[in-house]
Amino acid sequence: MISITKHSDYSIVMLAHLARKPNAVVSAKELAEGSKLPYPTVSKLLKLLVKSGILMSIQGSHGGYRLKKSPTEISVASVIEAIEGPISMTECATGDHGKCKTQDSCSIQPHWMTINGVIKKSLESLAISSLSQVVPERRILQQLPISQG
């Protein structure tokens, strides 16, 4: 199974919440309550998202956090990379040639590089703005490319 970490998932949830009011300044506490996530985790992730340039921190009595760019300009890929580092399906797709012990004899590596590129491109084309709309569960299930019988 391919999965992203809970921190990337939570970051996407937080940014989708902020994307509903892209110019609003929201405190960490308000964001934790509004996105129903644990405050200590929200606080930690906010720092990473500010450091990566996705969010800005505003100081003062009416301070908090807000999106640094339009929600249409923030990709899911950029969020994952801000939290986890480069997107890579396998060690050989990282470009770090010292990690894989079978790299010299592996015939699959070029294919993993292709797969990694396709997935990364898909995540880059998916903007946070498209995730900010609440979609009824039934509609989500109808969009899935699997049989529901």
- Domains, the chain, with CATH or none: 6-143 (1.10.10.10)
The total number of residues written for the chain in this structure: 149
Residue 9 neighbours by CB under 8 Å, 6+ apart: none
Tell me how far CA of residue 70 lies from CA of 57, 73, 113, 123, 132, in angstroms.
15, 5, 30, 17, 12
Between 66 and 103, name the one with better pLDDT.
66
More confident residue, 76 or 106: 76
How do residues 86-137 score in pLDDT, each as one tens digit? 888 877 766 666 667 777 777 887 788 888 889 999 999 999 998 887 766 5
Residue 147: its pLDDT value, please? 45
Residue 52: both structure tokens together: 């990566």
